């Protein structure tokens, strides 16, 4: 199974920002089963939110603000945002 660039970016950001809450079982289900995680359940503090956003920007070039994380609320919503932004940036050839 090939993992999309947006999902991989979110996965890597979660490993950086929520390493304690993002346990081995969650990692497996996130990558292999496509599990959608509620960000609030990961109990990331403001520093972790910033680390998450920085990780997303470093891996995709897309700026995501910590305040936006509350709006998105789930990993699937963040993935969709990344995918749509990448598609727009490449003229629809995502």
Which structural domain range is residue 78 located in? 5-85
Q: Please report, in tens digits, the pLDDT of each residue of the chain (94 residues total).
A: 688 999 999 999 999 999 888 888 888 899 889 999 999 999 999 999 999 999 999 999 999 999 999 899 999 999 999 999 999 988 765 4
Strand partners, 18: none
Residue 91 lies in a domain: no
User: Which CATH number fits the domain that encloses residue 27?
Assistant: 1.10.1200
Q: What is the pLDDT of residue 19?
A: 86
Assigned token pair, 74: 């789930």
Angle at the Cα of 29 from the Cα atoms of 56 and 23, rounded to 5 degrees: 70
Give the chain's domain count. 1
Q: What is the pLDDT of residue 55?
A: 97
Cβ-count burial of 10 within 10 angstroms (0-12 exposed, 13-18 middle, 19+ buried)? buried
pTM of this prediction?
Answer: 0.90
Q: What is the pLDDT of residue 93?
A: 56
**C-alpha–C-alpha distance, residues 25 and 45, integer Å:** 22
Residue 69: CB atoms within 10 A of its CB come to 22
Residue 90 lies in a domain: no
């Amino acid at each position: 199974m090939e993992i999309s660039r947006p999902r991989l970016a979110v996965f890597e950001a979660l490993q950086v920002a929520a390493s304690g809450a993002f346990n081995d079982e969650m990692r497996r289900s996130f990558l292999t089963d496509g599990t959608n995680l509620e960000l609030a359940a990961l109990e990331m503090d403001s520093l972790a939110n910033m680390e998450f956003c920085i990780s997303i920007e470093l891996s995709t070039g897309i700026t995501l603000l910590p305040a936006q994380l509350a709006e998105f609320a789930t990993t699937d919503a963040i993935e969709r945002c990344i995918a749509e932004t990448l598609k727009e940036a490449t003229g629809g050839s995502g």
